[in-house]
Each structure stands twice: as C-alpha cells, then as structure tokens.
Structure 1
Amino acid sequence: MAHRVNPFDDALRQALATASRRRSYNPGIGAFETATTQEIVAEGWHGAYRWPVRKDPIFTPIFTAILGSGGFTLFGTTVSYAAIASAIATTAIVAGVQYLLTPKPPKPEDGRAPLTQPIPYRFWGVGEARLAGPMMLWEAVDNRMYSVQAIVGHRINAYTGYYLNDDKVELDGNTVISPDGDRYNDADPVRIYRRLGLTPETAIAEIVADLGAEGVWTSEHRGDGQASVGMTCNAPGAENFQKRFPYGKPALSVVAELALVWDFRDPAQDPENPATWAFSKNSALTLAWHECFNPFGTKRDFRKALLPVLDMWQEEADVCDEDVPRAAGGTEKRYECGGFDTTDHDPKSGTNAILASCDGWMCERGDGALLFVAGKFREKYVATLTDADIVGHTVQHDVLFEEEVNQFIPKFTYPATDFTTTDTDFFEDTPAQIEAGRVLPQDGNYIWVQQWRQARRLGKREFARLREKKRGTFDVRFTGINAVYAPWVRLATPRRLPSMDGKLIANRRSALSVSRGGFQMTWIKMPGSGPEIDDWNPAVDEGAAPPVPAKPVSDGIPKPIIDTAAAISGSGTVYIRLALVDPNRSDLTPALRYRVADVGGGVPGAWIEQKFPGIAPDAGLIVLNTNPVPADTSINIEAVYIGSNGSYGDYSDSETVVSTVDNTPPATVSGVVATGGVGQVALTWNTPNSGNYVATNI
C-alpha cells in the first residue's frame, strides 16, 4: 500500500523546493491586476506571473529550530519567529453592518424583568446597566412576600437606581419612598436590601428572621462573590391592592455600577489584588478585565496577554478617556462602555460589544499578547503591504444594490428612557438615495454605548467606511506579517493593484492560512488618507438628543363629587338619595356607605356599604338611592368609585342628612334671644310643639 502524503506536508515540501530556486522579474507582472488567485497559483509562479523569490518565509517561523531563529519589530516591540508558531487571528472592528453577523449580548430590555428559570444562567456586566437577574427566592407567607434576586456573578461597585416594574423609585434607608403617596406607601411598605457580592457576603437578616426557622432562607444563604438584592412587601386588602401595586406584584430591577477593573495606569492598583481595583466605564479597561479577569470571560493570563504590550494598552485607555467637546459646551469621554451578558453566550459576544463601543481593533499575537487599538487614527499604527507581500487577492469595487447603504441609523442604550434601545439622528447620503430611488437603511447596533453623542461619533465613522464600498481579501505571505498585526495598512501595489496603490485600508480580520501562502486578510478601504475618519464638528455632526417621551400619568380612580344629598320618605320609611357628578368613566362602579352619626355618647355607628353596578348616568348626574335608613336621625353618607379590578378610590367628603319620615316641616322656633359677651354669645329659643321637630340648626 502506497504511503499517503499529508497535503500540508506536501505544500511545505514544495515551498522548500521553490525557495531554493532563483527567479528573475518578468515584465508581465502587470497581469496581476486582472488574473485570479487560482490562475496565479496554478501557474506555480511561472510565466507571466513570475516573481523574484529571495527567501520564502513560509517555513521560517514554523521550523525555527531547523532553519534558525530571529525576530522582527512590531510597533517598537521585537517578536521572535518562534512566537508565531501557533495560529494567529485578529478580531477587527465589530460595529454597524459587521456587528449584525457576530454573537451579541441580550438587548437592554431583556434584563428588566426577573427570570424565573429553574436553573438560570449567570449574569455578568461592565460599566453601568439596568438588570434584574434570576430569582433565587420567591415566597409568600400570609400577607408578606419575600424575594431574592442574583444580579451578577461577581462583585460590583454600587447600586445607583431602583425600579418597581416601570416605576423609578427612591429609598429611605431600605424603605421605598412612595412616588405619589398611594403606591408603595407606608401603610404597606416595600423594602429593598442590597448586597455587593463581597467574599464572604452577609445574608439578608430581615428575610432570615422570618424564613430561617423553616430552613427556607438561612444565615448560610450569603451569596459569596455574587451581587444580589432582596425585597419584602406587605399585601394590602383587595380594595387597595391596585392602588398600592398598579402593575400587579412588584418586579424589582436595579441600576448598578458593575465590574471593578484593573486600571493599569494607576501604580496603586495590583492586578493580583482585586481589592485595589476601581469602577470604570473606560472601554479599554473593561476589555482588559473581560479578556483576563472576568470569571465568565476568556480567562487569558494577563502576564501574557497584557504585560508584554502594556504601554499600548495604557495609551489606548488614555484615548478612551480623552475629552470630546459638546456643541452645547462641556465635554464627555471619548469612549465609555456599559452592559451585561449571560453565560449561555460565548465570551466573544462581550468582546464584540466592547469593541463596538470604541470602534476598536484587537489582534491576538502568536505569543498570546493582545494588541488593541481604539478608534482614533494614528500613523504609527499603519503598516505597508507591497506587491511582493501579496500572493493573491479579490477586490470588490462596488456593492450589489441590495447591499447598498445610503442611510445609517446608530442605536444605543439610553438611560434617559429607563435603559431602552433608542435611535440617534441618522446619517444619510441624499444624492445616493436619489440615484437609488429609495432609502436603503442600515442599523448600527451599539447596545453597550449609553452616550448618544458617542453613538453618533461611532455611526459617522462606520457610515464613512460603508460609503467607500471598495473591499476584498488578500492572501499575504509571511513577509507581510507586520500588516497582519496592524489595524491600518497602506498599499504599495503599483503592479498588482494600480488602482489601490498608495491607498489606506482597514484590516478587518486576518487569520493564519498556510494553504494561501501565509495569512488571509479581509479589508475595507478607508476614507481619505486616514485622519479624515476622525473628523468631528460638534456643531454640525452632533445632531439633537433623542426625545424622551413623557410618561402618561394616570389620574387613577377619581374622588366622587356629591351634587346633592337628601332624605326621601314615604309609607313610613325613609332613604337617602345621593346625586354624583358624572366622571365620564365607564370602567367605574359607584358605591356609597352610610352610618348613624351618633348612636350614643358621640360614637358613630358602623358603616353600611351599598354598590350600584350597571347604573347609567342621566343629565350629567349619577343618582344613587340607599336602602331604608333609620328614621329621624342624622346619617353620615359618603360615595366612592370602584375600579374594574375591584380597587377602591378615595371616598368623597362626608355629608350629613337628617332622615325625617314626616316631610311636613315643623313650626318655627320662637323667643330667640341672643346675649352677647366677651368672645362668646348665648342663644335661647322656644321649640315648636311639633312631633317631627328634631333639632335646630344655628
């Protein structure tokens, strides 16, 4: 049986054989501009496609032990050939259109309601975000409800806001302050307890006191290293439930400053001592934390990933912290980041979201070091690719009509609308829209961005790249490895690609591809010569802040207005007729209650309630008649409206009516004498001799 040759080994043998041959330049090299990569490879670099090969480096970095060792300089750092023996891949910018094709974290709206899964995934987050997390406890005992929610699976910095369903609330200690005097008021208080996720943590004593004896929630339920919140609330009576809890059972969500990160610019912070770390929204710092320190991240060794290129990371963190002027005055940081993810997603979804927040580019070197460049053009990060470095290419000079983009809409998370996904003003190319005959929109998803001006800056950069349209791939020899490790590349290709000679491209993604000669690079043309991508005029480019819609404020159940109250007698009985002003609300049921004003010793009697479902208003009034009431006595009467869910509004002002059976008025009093004095007056009179006389009103 013949020995089977591994295609990879065979390719390397051919490369070795080719490296030993000497070639001479053939003027026919101009055919590179029109020939396909397959044609060039099929010719084996003979004929019209011949190129002078001085030293083929394909096998040099792979077989350093055999063919020697060496190194090259990259952005001031010497990298040995041995360091690239493993696979090399880069992750470029993931904004706009590219972001649609990458793994993404949950939408901000997905974190507003507590999860009730039996075995939920863990949450983690950076910057500031609103989230509710999964339920760890939900119990109701008598009229009291208890809940505990896991916010994220790591320590956080602080809680900065609280929501009960859609109501933003504030706390007095642990007690929710009623926003309107009715909801969550002191009669039925709601209390919220917070834990930051220390190790060890402390169990919520108030819940342990009530549920610990049964073993439901004991002092051992600490949640070490896990940020959590607890809540207790008392259930009111049925008539007040809707008033106290208008959205049903309260669902708690919080706004929190999440991960503490290592700021490698601060000498007081120790990467091996998280107690020295601090909270930050800086995109570079959060990316470093996610890649190296996040318990649910990629868990790289910071000694390999960060320390060899620490100067680079420090510079990029400073870029993110640069002050950018606002049109209305003042400044904001260039790039900030805030959001959350769950452990059912690959860690790369978090990486992509952070990179999108800063128009970032990241590359993993063969030695494990992470190169990172934030979205600000600098010439020192530009490498060069020559005709000699490229062994194959594809170029797309334009895009298909269905891929055309003439309007770009940045989307971000807006704290002013309670952390919802919101659009900024869009960017558009009006002449292109006229030529196309319609608007061809594309969204830019920056869901971990919370500054609308930052979303606009990112959108402007992406739209400028999209409008360039020219893009493609290069098969790059190992001689072009510096370009693989660079975010931007300037082409020196007068023979292979004359139309791109001298042009600047963005390295969107590069990966090791020995079968293609070394690496394959995916690129897109940059607008202008490079610095133009950073052009930003706040007065012109900033646009307007997204509108914050006013929240409709419910009037609730109105308080009845009594028009008249009178005693109606007949056949020896008497009842009270109450006329209410019609509130024009078909969802309300009118009701009243009455009692004897004094049953003896100044003590009123018990209230008697009467409801009137289905009664129709007449001439702007709702007329209610009570059942027969005690005769010839003073009756207190009040009205109330009941909502469709059975909740009661406020009672009307009380009216007092004398329930006289005999409608014939008594004779008038006589002999009225008033005697004055200092600060007082004495009145005397003679009562009439009438059987239906009860009292005299003064």
Structure 2
Amino acid sequence: MSRRRLLAIVLMTTTAMTPVKADAAPLLGFIAGALGVGAATGLGATAAWAAGAAFASTVIGGIVVNTLVAIGLSAISIALTPRPQLPSPAERMVNFAQPVAYAEWVLGRSRKGGPLGFTGFVASSDVVTDTEGRKRHYSPILAAHPCHGIVTHYLDEREVDIDADGLVTTPPMAGFYRIRPFLGGAAQTADAELVNAFTEITAAHDFAGLTGAHIWAKRPPQEQFSEIYPNGRQGSYTPVLDGANRVYDPRDGSTGFTRNAALLLAYWVTQVLGRSVDWSEVGEEADKCDELVTNGDGGTQPKWRIDGVLSDDQEFEDQRAQMAAACDAWMYERPDGSVGFKVGGYTEPTITLTDEDLFGVEISEGQWGRGAPTEIAAQYVEPANNWRQAPSGTIILEETTRQVRDEPALYMVSSHNQAVRVIDRIARVKRARYQIKATCGLIGFKLRGHRFVRIQTLGIDEVFEIGEMWRNEGGFSYDLVANSVKPEDFEFDAATQEPKRPAFKGVQNDNGVEDVTGLSGVAQDGGGILYSWPQQDESLQQQIRFRRSGTSDWQKLDVPQGDGIFLVTGLQDLVSYEAQIRNRTSAGRSSDWSASETVLVLANSVAPLALDSFAVAQEGADTVVTFDAPDDQNYHATRIFRADYASGHSNPPDFNDASLIRPEYGHPGNPDSYTDTGLTSGHFAYWGIPINASGVAGPTSGPVTIDIA
C-alpha cells in the first residue's frame, strides 16, 4: 500500500475535518476537449488528477497528519533535502509528451515548461502572418489554472522577444517561431492557427482554464538548422510567468495575482487542499510579509514572498515544507479545525509551562552530534541564473577540519536575502542551546496557536519555539518538541550577516565558426577562375558561391575537404563574376560569407604579336588606315585609335588624347584596312593595337600622323 493511500485511510478515521473536494474542473474541461484529436498528445491526466484531488481533500484537516496539531521550521527542515519526488526547477524547464501528466500550480513568479497538450506537423500558411512552410505545432501546458501573464519568453536557454502577432524577432530564431500564449481566461477560445492547420481541431479544443502556449517551429534551411535548433529539435518553451491570478486578499477583498507569501499560503490551503483558514489572521500575516527589509545589496524588498511550482504528484509533506520554509511559517490546527499559520518573526510568549504542567520531560543541552552542520547554504531559485536553482552564500557555523555541509532546498524562494534569512533560522534551530521533549495536560489545548512558550522546569527558564505538537489519543494530553530561542534569532542584519551572493556571468562559449578572409581569384584560359584562400582549420569545409556581377542569384559549390584552391570553369568570356566563401562544420553550422572578390573572365590571356605594318594615307577627303595582321593564332582584331589636333600642331602626339574609332576584325597574317571618313581640316594621329578574342592587347603601333587641308 502506498504511503499516500495509507495517509488518506488514517486521516479519514480522525476528527480533523470533513473532507472537501478540490475543484478539478479546469483540467477536466481540457481533457474533454483535447483528447481524441488524431495528431494530439493530450494531457491525459484523468487518473492522476482524480487521485490528486482526492489526496488533497483527505490528507489534511488543518495541518493534521495523524494527530499533529502544530509544526515549525525545526521539523519542516528535515523535508528540505531534495528527493526524487521533489524535482529541481531545472527539471521543469522542458516540454514533454507522456500519457499521464500531473496538474501543476504556479504560485508567484516562476520559470517552467510543461507537458504537451498537443503536437503535430503540417505544411501550411499561417492565417495571421501568411508565413508558409513545413512547421511543427506544439502546445505546452504551463499551469492547470489561469495565470496572470508571461514575463519573459525562453526557447531552450535563449531569451526571445515576439511581436504583436507572436512571431519571434530575436536572431537567429526570428521568423522560424511563432508563440501565442494563452492564460486560461474565461473568454479563451481555440487557437485560430491550429483550427486552420488541422482539420481535427475544432472550436471545442479551447484549453479552457489552462495556461500555456501554442507554438509553431518552421523547418529552417539545412545550413541554419543547428543554429536555430541547437538541440536537434524544436526549442522547449520555458517562460518566466506570473502565476495564479485568483488569489484572495482579505485586506481589501480583491482577487488577483500576488507574490505575498501569506496570501499564497492561504491560496494553497483553500484552493489546492480544499480546506479553510481564518481570513483575519491571513490579513495580519500578509501585512508582515509586505514589510520592507534591507538586503545585502543595500536595497529593500518585501520580507516574505513565494515564487515556485507545486505539482499534484508531490507528497503533502514536500508541498508543506517548501511553502512553509519559504517564509519561516509556523502552521497549526485551529480549534475549529481550520488551518492557521504565522510567518517568520518573534513574539513574546503569553503562556508559561511549569513543572505542574509537564511530565515525561526530556531536555538536551548543547548536544548537536557528529551530524550537526558546520556550514549551511541554500539551494534557491536565482533570477540572475535564468531562474534556475543556485547555491546561496555560505553561512559558517563552526570552524573545524571536519566540514559537514547542509544544503536545504528552498525551491519556492527567488531572493538571496530571503533564502539566507531562512537558512540562518535553520542553523539556529539545529544548534539551539536547549531542546525539550515533554508531555503536557489539557493546557496543551490552550497552546494551540501559540508559536512561542516560556518553560520553567528542571532549573531552566527559557523561551521555546514549538517545533512539533501532537494530540494524544482521547485529546487529554499533548506531546511537544521545542527548541530554545532568543528574540535576536529573528533579527537579521543583512549588512553584517548576509554572505556575498554568488556572481552569475554567462560563459562565453567559443562555438562560432571562424570567417574566411583573403579570398582571391585569377582568370584562367578557357573561361575559368581559380580561387585561393589561406589555410583553414582541418575540421572545417569551405563553400563558395558566385554570380554574374549585377545579378542576384548565387550558385553554391562545396570545396573538397582540405583544399585551399578551387577552379570554377565554364564561365562566359569577358564577363565579371562576384564570389564569396565561408566555412562550414560537419554539423552544418556556418560562418558568415566573406567579402566579395570580383574577377573578369578571360578565355585567352595570351596577347597577340605586334602588327607587321601600320600606315595612313589620304584618298580624297578620306583617310585610309592600312595594316598587316601578324601571323599569330591569338590574333582576333585591331583596335584603331585617333587623336585630333588643329592644323599646324607641332608637338608630338599623345595617346592620352586618342579615342577608339574602330575595332577592325580580321584573320591572322592577312592585310587589312579601314577608311576614316568625314574629317575636316586638321592634324591627325593614328595608333593600332592588336587584341585576342578576350580583348588582351598586344604591342601598340604608331603614332602615324597626317595633315588634311
């Protein structure tokens, strides 16, 4: 028989309280709407929720387990060592699919993921953003109740921003994700994109009463896959969210979101466990939680907050320990059977127990044992560590060569100062001067609701804090365990007592791919370009892309591993080509493309020989240029240039004054000519330059001058 079931049976035989079933409607509504969808992975938690609801309503009357009527930090601290059934915050930062998932409550502010309420893959065009492509759709459920809102979006460990339509705008995921949170409000409807993309999804699939998000992740190009999906799949959505938004505040009668520890304790008792509280007491304790205290950074903050997650699969003792330890709460069963509690703080006792009230007294003095801690540090949730658990600064209790370290898990605390104040109290109760175990008579009934009591017995006169108190069979006597305390045990000076908070700096991983610099290209005969670049790391492969200058379409080519040169052939002669290069890893991660290298393609780089002859003569009003082409297979044409001067010009001709007037095409070894017409009087100079088919020039002939009257 399980411990949970055993506790339920035992308690149903007590007079603690009449069980009241917790309200499971929001989750059951989701199950009715979401299960049966062909592509869905439903929350599927009918059995788990039913078991949890029954557990919550029967396992506790006030704080009663068997006959326990009061419990404080000295007893609760035993349950603060993490066990397999108490997952760390980091373990909640995933999205998972499984047939049974337990209901979770988010109290205050916390970062978490959750089970998938739906997942499916389809090619579609988004109805809002018109984004096309093949997409993985998934809907993580973050809480089994309405929540206040999303504070920060995280995909895996990357903080991202979204626009008004939900599209992620943070590189490199920008455009490849769309996030549409839903908060469980009364008007919540089925997601339009899911209804559009999957015929099985209808208006009935509204995830009523639940908090989560509908997400699609678009399949990226292969070269970007490992950058956008570093874990090989779509990112887990693990946002920071402000949780339960129906928390009652008796001070003004409002209902909404809060991080006030007393109000959240009352919410847990009434809404999760289905029990009752004294709201006037809750209001008084809430005021104490709102009091400002100075922290180790010199600022101020509310004294007691709760920020964390409860799951229905947790043992009751784990839930109680985490909630109570977060604010040093002392919990008790009130005479009417409701749950009472006092948050951390000292009050002068109003009841004194003497020898006449006590029997069976056992007192321990200064006997801590070999297992007593010599140093203590909390495991708490640190916002600066991406809202993951982190160790607090260490409080040294005793300088000794044999160190015994205690690390209580305070997973409902997100403040270093608050965590340290709690472990300071834990250290004091574990090293109290006196511990007393005793039995008292009916005066124990008067002690209910009193955290502190003065005890005068066996020669001692001290104030004690009740750690645990039980009602014996018949209710005529009570057993108690208490530790001696002093008022200063509850006075914490952050300036002198708060150890330095660990610094959290992001580790700069050198996970980038080094850029290629120094790309150069040389035109090759036959219509090619030979590219070269400096030697790269042997683990990297290069990729070249090229295009005709002035165009937009790139062609990509992979370079064989280890080569530092690459020949591109089949290019068009006398056309300029632009090329870039980058490195790639075996996993497909890439560097940026290099700066462009532009090269003019020359199919023939060999210049022809000089012209065999070059002359100019006047024929009437025209000038005839005659020349003999060289007997050279590289010869293709002769470019004829002319410079115009006024009559009587006597200085030597300058080629810089000339302009191309004619490319005269011909055959190697043949005579050729060109008639220059339309000239008026003046002094003229001519030059002739042979070229090959790629425009490579040979030696220049000329100048040859002529005067025309």
Local SS of the residue matching 2:286: helix
Local SS of the residue matching 1:560: coil
Q: Is the 8 A contact 1:105 1:342 kept in 2?
A: no
C-alpha distance in structure 2 between counterparts of 1:176 and 1:674, whole Å: 67
C-alpha distance in structure 1 between counterparts of 2:370 and 2:167, whole Å: 53
Query: What's 1:482 paired with?
Result: 446
Query: What's 1:404 paired with?
Result: 372
- Aligned ranges for residues 175-190 of structure 1 at < 5 Å? 175-180=166-171, 183-186=172-175, 189-190=176-177
> Deviations along 1:279-303, whole A, 9 cap, x unmatched?
111111000000012xxx2101x3x
Distance verdict in 2 for CA 1:322–1:692, change over 3 Å: same
Query: What's 2:267 paired with?
Result: 289
Of 341, 358, 362 in structure 1, the residue corresponding to residue 327 of structure 2 is: 358
What amino acid is the match of 2:461? Answer: G
Q: Is the 8 A contact 1:666 1:692 kept in 2?
A: no
Local SS of the residue matching 1:511: strand
C-alpha distance in structure 2 between counterparts of 1:388 and 1:162, whole Å: 62
Q: Is the 8 A contact 1:105 1:340 kept in 2?
A: no
C-alpha distance in structure 1 between counterparts of 2:280 and 2:590, whole Å: 66
> Deviations along 1:640-679, whole A, 9 cap, x unmatched?
222222244433233222333433346898858799xxxx
Query: What's 1:123 paired with?
Result: 104
C-alpha distance in structure 2 between counterparts of 1:674 and 1:394, whole Å: 126
C-alpha distance in structure 1 between counterparts of 2:347 and 2:103, whole Å: 39
Distance verdict in 2 for CA 1:462–1:87, change over 3 Å: closer
Query: What's 2:280 paired with?
Result: 311
Q: Is the 8 A contact 1:320 1:374 kept in 2?
A: yes
C-alpha distance in structure 2 between counterparts of 1:286 and 1:150, whole Å: 21
Query: What's 1:46 paired with?
Result: none
Local SS of the residue matching 1:207: helix
Of 113, 116, 137 in structure 2, the residue corresponding to residue 135 of structure 1 is: 116
Of 592, 598, 608 in structure 2, the residue corresponding to residue 650 of structure 1 is: 592
Of 67, 73, 80 in structure 2, the residue corresponding to residue 99 of structure 1 is: 80
Identical pairs, percent = 20
Distance verdict in 2 for CA 1:99–1:240, change over 3 Å: closer
Distance verdict in 2 for CA 1:119–1:576, change over 3 Å: same
Q: Is the 8 A contact 1:592 1:640 kept in 2?
A: yes
The Cα of 1:416 is off from its aligned counterpart by: 1.2
C-alpha distance in structure 2 between counterparts of 1:152 and 1:427, whole Å: 35
Of 189, 198, 202 in structure 1, the residue corresponding to residue 185 of structure 2 is: 198
The Cα of 1:413 is off from its aligned counterpart by: 0.2
- Cα RMSD (Å): 3.2
Query: What's 2:37 paired with?
Result: none
Structure 2: 5+ residue runs without aligned partners? Answer: 1-14, 17-63, 124-133, 611-638, 646-655, 664-688, 698-709
- Aligned ranges for residues 94-243 of structure 1 at < 5 Å? 96-100=77-81, 105-142=86-123, 143-180=134-171, 183-186=172-175, 189-211=176-198, 214-215=199-200, 217-243=201-227
C-alpha distance in structure 2 between counterparts of 1:139 and 1:401, whole Å: 58
Q: Is the 8 A contact 2:520 2:597 kept in 1?
A: no
The Cα of 1:260 is off from its aligned counterpart by: 2.4
The Cα of 1:349 is off from its aligned counterpart by: 2.7
Match status 1:592 vs 2:544: yes
> How many residue pairs align between the two structures?
559
C-alpha distance in structure 1 between counterparts of 2:85 and 2:360, whole Å: 33
Q: Is the 8 A contact 1:95 1:444 kept in 2?
A: no
Query: What's 1:552 paired with?
Result: 508
Higher helix share: 1
Match status 1:433 vs 2:399: yes
TM-score (norm 1): 0.73
Query: What's 1:259 paired with?
Result: 244
Q: Is the 8 A contact 2:606 2:692 kept in 1?
A: no
What amino acid is the match of 1:137? Answer: F
Distance verdict in 2 for CA 1:673–1:427, change over 3 Å: farther
What amino acid is the match of 2:542? Answer: P
Local SS of the residue matching 2:281: helix
Of 455, 459, 482 in structure 2, the residue corresponding to residue 523 of structure 1 is: 482
C-alpha distance in structure 1 between counterparts of 2:583 and 2:136, whole Å: 28
What amino acid is the match of 2:219? Answer: A
Match status 1:691 vs 2:692: yes
Query: What's 2:388 paired with?
Result: 420
The Cα of 1:449 is off from its aligned counterpart by: 0.5
C-alpha distance in structure 2 between counterparts of 1:393 and 1:567, whole Å: 102
Local SS of the residue matching 2:482: strand
> Deviations along 1:44-79, whole A, 9 cap, x unmatched?
xxxxxxxxxxxxxxxxx99xxxxxxxxxxxxxxxxx
C-alpha distance in structure 2 between counterparts of 1:348 and 1:199, whole Å: 33
Of 279, 286, 304 in structure 1, the residue corresponding to residue 257 of structure 2 is: 279
C-alpha distance in structure 2 between counterparts of 1:655 and 1:666, whole Å: 28
Which structure ranks higher in relative contact order (CA pairs < 8 Å, sequence separation ≥ 6)? 1
Structure 1: 5+ residue runs without aligned partners? Answer: 1-60, 63-83, 270-276, 617-621, 676-680
Distance verdict in 2 for CA 1:649–1:414, change over 3 Å: same
Distance verdict in 2 for CA 1:419–1:278, change over 3 Å: same
Q: Is the 8 A contact 1:147 1:231 kept in 2?
A: yes
- Aligned ranges for residues 65-84 of structure 1 at < 5 Å? none
Local SS of the residue matching 1:609: strand
Match status 1:446 vs 2:410: yes
C-alpha distance in structure 2 between counterparts of 1:683 and 1:196, whole Å: 80
The Cα of 1:364 is off from its aligned counterpart by: 1.0
Match status 1:245 vs 2:229: yes
